[in-house]
Structure 1
Amino acid sequence: MKIAAIGGGVIGGGWIARFILNGHDVSIFDPHPEAQRIVGEVMANASRAYDKLFQAPLPEPGRLIWTSSIAEAVAGMDYIQESVSERLDLKHRIIAEIEAAAPKDAIIGSSTSGFKPSELRQGAKHPDRILVTHPFNPVYLLPVVEVVGGGKAADRASALLSQVGMKPVTIAREIDAHIGDRLLEAVWREALWLVKDGIASTQEIDDVIRYGFGLRWAQMGLFETYRIAGGEAGMRHFLAQFGPALKWPWTKLMDVPDLDDALIDQIASQSDAQSGAYSIRELERIRDDNLVGIFHALKANDWGAGQPLREAENRFYKRKVAAPSTYPLMLHQARVGASWVDYNGHMTEFRYLQVFGDATDAFLIHMGLDESWIAKGFSAYTVETHIRHLAEVKAGEKLRVETRLLGHDAKRFRLHHHILRDNGDEVATGEHMLVFVDTAKGRSTSMPHQFQHRLEEIARKETGPLPDHAGAGIRTLCTQGAE
């Protein structure tokens, strides 16, 4: 998929980072004199967040391709993400330039938070391919994107965005500000009045949200949260109990305080007192770290935003697996992230095991034991492991793993992994015994013929002597002197 980005500000830079870190090249146009610096800083924070977020080996990052014009950026592209300022006349001009140079079937997605597709399409040559694709900041972490416009273009856009870890929400009918911003606007209006009337400061309002209902919304949203509030009787009871409160004069949602200089100064000074000790980039990193922690919890429970994260991670695992013609097999590579090192600055012990485990997963896919077989109730479980730690590894180093099949029978196979630096220096070895399992029955079973045949094909490549340490800490099952 060939992707272009027009605009590299807060939102555009986030889009660029998400595409790049998911392995796509991005052709970029932004006339701002500081555009490359701004996008570079966003990329640095995004890379730092992804290093913390994913356990899977990340794909090789795509290339940032800076261009000197919109025409150069969009030529030959399949998908174009427009993220220019929120002015309809500007968006019309930019879209017209895109249409003049882009292929006729290229999708144009606009990051607009307020304009409707019908407004964006005014005067367009191919209006049906112009969509609203409205994300939320930070785009490289938050998965939701509102896709408005319908038709085949929306289906194609949703498929692409799903492949880069997004959660497309297709909105059937267009409406000003779509869904997310209308909800945010309601909270924002009420918050302005609370500050204006001297009831709460900016920090007190933020504390109520982040220590309270914001935590619930982060993983269940609004309606599911209120369903639980209804107790065992559920949503019907909640509506009956709290519905009459909607008629009480609690809110001022139909009125907005005048954002005069006095109120602007009041809000700005309170915000400075609340957050002024941190730079914007520091706040972004704090935000990202908190989001990563929430994502990990949700992924562990296979819930909410953790589901697209798990799907993306599974794609990353599969993407690293190739079909090498040489032996030993080179199926897995890894980069030592900052979170992988301990207080000595060296890769922690459990990360060695993770690299070996990821290499084993790559071998399982190489032998054909992919997610379709796992869905049928088959897998291979590691029952014994022997690791030798041979060298210290620091953050930023690139590692590759060479894998050998030392032996197999109808139910078991034995792997040897060798972690090497790029220059060939040894880092560690791991020897692993795996048993083929029927997960529904919870016991070992004979492998289907196709897996046994595949292991035989691989075993025929093992012609050299075994490593001298092989078998020292693991039961013998090898092509030479098997039990």
Structure 2
Amino acid sequence: MKGRNLTQSAAIIGGGVIGGGWAARFLLNGWDVRVFDPDPNAQRKIGEVLDNARASLPGLYDMPMPVEGMLTFHDTLADAVDGAVWVQESVPERLEMKHSVYRDIQKHCAADAVIASSTSGFKPSQLQHNAIRPEQIVVCHPFNPVYLLPLIEVVGTDVNADMIGGVEDVLRGVGMFPLLVKKEIDAHIADRFLEAVWREALWLIKDGIATTEEIDDAIRMGFGLRWAQMGLFETYRIAGGEAGMRHFIEQFGPCLAWPWTKLMDVPELTEELIDKIASQSDAQSGHHTIRELERHRDANLVGMMRTLKARDWGAGAILNTHDKTMNQTCAIPETLADVGDLNLAVKTVERAVPLDWTDYNGHMNEARYLQAFGDATDRLMHIVGCTPDYIAKGGSYFTAETHIRHLDEVKAGARIRVETQVLLGAGKKMQLFHAMYEGDRLLATGEHMLIHVSLATRRACDPAPDVVDQLGKLAAAHAQLPRPDGAGAAVGKR
């Protein structure tokens, strides 16, 4: 099948929350995925995770994701790892169980396959102990939901230092951010912070100071938002004002000696405390099913990460990089040379509809049709040479008129495609006709009249000769196409 790399096969050992997230991450990035989990409900559970992932992950990107890989479930571990180049272990956090699983994996997997553990606490040297081939085993600790959050903590040992670079390449290839932990430590890096916050939260509940909901509100309404886009030290650097980090430490450092937290101690998890936490959590969120909470979580994460993407910041910068990776075959042309047959309408957009593009009816709202067509116009401009560098030199096209016809509804997760025909490309004018499809179904059309302007004078002017030449070639080729239905209905008329 076009777009598939049939040599990429990942085995998922353990199909719980984390294993299911790994399956979705690999599958939606074009890998074949082979799952082994003796749980009779594993297929249903992973299917539900995949439903969420298909609705959310593609909407992070502005390029078409690869053709989805093939998902298969296997009755034995030996069948699951057969032919896999990557084996992701996500079994429960019991060291003796992991050792047993590794023995079975290594009896049947390729000698050069990566065996990656999702462990949140064990060091790789502990996992490698008494292994047949210890150099195969590496820690790749993800964060839930694995199919959306980019962070992966990668930890190796001296015996497999040479393979770590390849491990990081694979993870980047599926849109993740590998954070190399250079020195082994229990719980790696991120979970040590989470453990500290968790301990303090347990004390606040035990001592009757706060409920589960109040603690969650403190995080999500305040520092959680800051941490999502800057982290700890960059946030505190800003808190130091113009004087910077040194001033912050000098000002707030003394408070570290105050008895604010109980991080060196942890309350005993008695039945009374467990009941208290569970009942408060039920009161807080019990009216939602787990799948409903996951969908709310996914929609919130997509919205935040797309905002970061627009600013090329934090996790958003990772998404922009992966957009470029996914478009290496120029499925969406970068230049006129990438277009191929100039006598056909140009594919200028191919993407999934993000969750945050829908309205109260569950349909893509009117503003997003305009955004999709605006993105198509931007891409066509780029193709004919009106690139960011060209614009920086003082020339660009401004939209003068737009006409959109809404012909059919489209929902979140739908894979839409925009094909663009140049109706006019001469002098200062560029007239484009966009047709939006899902498969063969025509969803909408958009017609744009643009005028080339000088950014210095903000007045109409002729484009540079290279833009004139490239736009002219495309316009001449498209002049042989039939005039599209609906063209000229409003654009260009007073």
Quickly name the TM-score band, shorter chain normalised. 0.7 to 0.9
Retained in 2: the 8 A contact 1:12–1:82?
A: yes
Looking at structure 1, the residues matched to 314 and 446 of structure 2 have their Cα atoms a distance apart, in angstroms, of: 38
Taking the TM superposition and a 5 Å limit, the aligned residue runs for 1:168-247 are: 168-247=178-257
Residue 474 of structure 1, CA deviation: 5.6
Q: Tell whether 2:408 aligns with 1:392.
A: yes
Unaligned residue ranges in structure 2 (runs of 5+)? 1-7, 334-338
Among 254, 257, 261, which residue is 2:264 paired with? 254
- CA separation of 1:153 and 1:446: change in aligned 2, threshold 3 A: farther
Could you say which residue in structure 2 is the equivalent of 1:357? 374
Could you say which residue in structure 2 is the equivalent of 1:309? 319
Report the residue type matching 2:420 in the other structure: T
Could you say which residue in structure 2 is the equivalent of 1:383? 399
Bigger drift between 264-273 and 442-451 goes to 442-451
Looking at structure 2, the residues matched to 315 and 465 of structure 1 have their Cα atoms a distance apart, in angstroms, of: 35
Looking at structure 2, the residues matched to 299 and 325 of structure 1 have their Cα atoms a distance apart, in angstroms, of: 32
Could you say which residue in structure 2 is the equivalent of 1:270? 280
Q: Tell whether 2:140 aligns with 1:139.
A: no
Retained in 1: the 8 A contact 2:344–2:481?
A: no
Looking at structure 1, the residues matched to 96 and 29 of structure 2 have their Cα atoms a distance apart, in angstroms, of: 32
Looking at structure 1, the residues matched to 466 and 360 of structure 2 have their Cα atoms a distance apart, in angstroms, of: 48
Looking at structure 2, the residues matched to 297 and 89 of structure 1 have their Cα atoms a distance apart, in angstroms, of: 43
Report the residue type matching 2:409 in the other structure: V
Among 291, 296, 299, which residue is 2:306 paired with? 296
Looking at structure 1, the residues matched to 352 and 238 of structure 2 have their Cα atoms a distance apart, in angstroms, of: 43
Q: Secondary structure at the match of 2:372?
A: helix
Among 67, 74, 78, which residue is 2:81 paired with? 74
Residue 260 of structure 1, CA deviation: 2.2
- CA separation of 1:470 and 1:76: change in aligned 2, threshold 3 A: same
Q: Tell whether 2:421 aligns with 1:404.
A: yes
Residue 297 of structure 1, CA deviation: 3.2
Retained in 1: the 8 A contact 2:59–2:353?
A: no
Could you say which residue in structure 2 is the equivalent of 1:419? 436
Report the residue type matching 1:187 in the other structure: V
Looking at structure 2, the residues matched to 458 and 105 of structure 1 have their Cα atoms a distance apart, in angstroms, of: 52
Looking at structure 2, the residues matched to 133 and 379 of structure 1 have their Cα atoms a distance apart, in angstroms, of: 47
Retained in 1: the 8 A contact 2:310–2:316?
A: yes
Report the residue type matching 2:256 in the other structure: L
Looking at structure 1, the residues matched to 247 and 264 of structure 2 have their Cα atoms a distance apart, in angstroms, of: 28
Taking the TM superposition and a 5 Å limit, the aligned residue runs for 1:71-110 are: 71-110=78-117
Among 321, 326, 329, which residue is 2:332 paired with? 321
Looking at structure 1, the residues matched to 130 and 68 of structure 2 have their Cα atoms a distance apart, in angstroms, of: 37
Bigger drift between 139-148 and 244-253 goes to 244-253
Looking at structure 2, the residues matched to 60 and 382 of structure 1 have their Cα atoms a distance apart, in angstroms, of: 35
Retained in 1: the 8 A contact 2:429–2:450?
A: yes
Q: Secondary structure at the match of 1:245?
A: helix
Q: Deviations over 1:301-324 (max 9, x none)?
A: 332222223333455566642755
Residue 81 of structure 1, CA deviation: 1.7
Looking at structure 2, the residues matched to 100 and 422 of structure 1 have their Cα atoms a distance apart, in angstroms, of: 45
Q: Deviations over 1:230-258 (max 9, x none)?
A: 33322222222332333333333222222
Bigger drift between 108-117 and 416-425 goes to 416-425
When normalised by structure 2's length, the TM-score is 0.81
Unaligned residue ranges in structure 1 (runs of 5+)? 477-483
Bigger drift between 220-229 and 47-56 goes to 47-56
Retained in 1: the 8 A contact 2:58–2:352?
A: no
Looking at structure 2, the residues matched to 81 and 317 of structure 1 have their Cα atoms a distance apart, in angstroms, of: 27
Could you say which residue in structure 1 is the equivalent of 2:4? none
Q: Deviations over 1:113-168 (max 9, x none)?
A: 01111111123343333211111111122221111116332222222222322221
Which protein has greater RCO, CA pairs closer than 8 Å, 6+ apart?
Answer: 2
Could you say which residue in structure 2 is the equivalent of 1:22? 29
Residue 376 of structure 1, CA deviation: 9.1
Q: Secondary structure at the match of 1:32?
A: coil
Q: Secondary structure at the match of 1:132?
A: strand
Give me the identity figure in percent.
Answer: 49
Q: Secondary structure at the match of 1:222?
A: helix
Retained in 1: the 8 A contact 2:62–2:323?
A: yes
Residue 22 of structure 1, CA deviation: 3.0
Report the residue type matching 1:160 in the other structure: V
Residue 10 of structure 1, CA deviation: 0.9
Retained in 2: the 8 A contact 1:410–1:447?
A: no
Bigger drift between 70-79 and 56-65 goes to 56-65
Retained in 1: the 8 A contact 2:59–2:351?
A: no
Could you say which residue in structure 1 is the equivalent of 2:290? 280
Among 8, 19, 42, which residue is 2:15 paired with? 8
Retained in 2: the 8 A contact 1:321–1:365?
A: no
- CA separation of 1:337 and 1:242: change in aligned 2, threshold 3 A: closer
Could you say which residue in structure 2 is the equivalent of 1:481? none
